Amino acid sequence: MVSALCPLPIRKGVAMQKKRVVLSFPPHLIDQAVTYKLIKDYDLMINIMRARITPKEQGRLVLEITGKRAALEAGIDYLKEVGVEIQPLAQDVKWHEDRCTHCTACISICPTKALDVDRKQMAVSFKRDKCIACELCIPACPYQAVEILF
Ligand code: SF4
Ligand code: SF4
């Protein structure tokens, strides 16, 4: 399952959506123009956030993909059809509970309440299914309790 789409401001009457995903390429797809096809054929905007590609081995890319909802879904279907594994970047977000001091510095910064606090117990918790991998909490945490593993 890919993470929930993040709504962006409506431009020219069309709501744009954004996803941050990790793509894993099998060796035979590494030199194919897969991301170019997303731009050209599906009218998507692609921002390559991280890349780890070794010739003749599996490659991994972290992409931010922006476009109309239908185009995004079609582009993701295309990736799956050609054999690219796709997963939400949030799967690579790791909250180190043992490092967290429950200082709450991240709570007002996290836009989705993936990091949340139980005010009675003053205990912070992380809910991966709400995380959109925006990375805002990473510089905000003084104890490096949140990490992107990619
Ligand atoms: S990356 Fe951090 S700030 Fe962003 S949604 Fe996930 S937990 Fe919240
Ligand atoms: S900022 Fe870091 S240490 Fe403080 S509550 Fe958030 S995750 Fe825990």
Q: State whether the beta carbon of 131 lies less than 6 angstroms from ligand 1.
A: yes
Contact in structure between 73 and 50 (CB atoms under 8 Å) = no
Residues contacting residue 31 through CB under 8 Å, at least 6 positions apart: none
Q: Is 145 in the pocket of ligand 2 (CB under 6 A)?
A: yes
| Nearest atom (ligand 2) to Cα of 124 | 5
Is residue 101 lining ligand 2, measured as CB closer than 6 Å? yes
Give 116-132 pLDDT, tens digit per residue.
999 999 999 999 989 98
The DSSP code sequence of 81-137 is: HHT-EEEEGGGGEEE-TTT-----TTTTT-TTSSEEEETTTTEEEE-GGG-----TH
* pTM beyond 0.75, yes or no: no
Residue type, 98: D
pLDDT by position in tens, the chain (length 150): 444 444 555 455 567 888 889 998 888 777 778 888 999 999 999 998 888 877 666 788 889 999 999 999 999 999 999 999 998 888 889 999 999 999 999 999 999 999 999 999 999 999 998 998 888 999 999 999 999 887
Residue nearest to atom 5 of ligand 1 (CA): 131
- Cα separation, 27 vs 31, in Å, equals 8
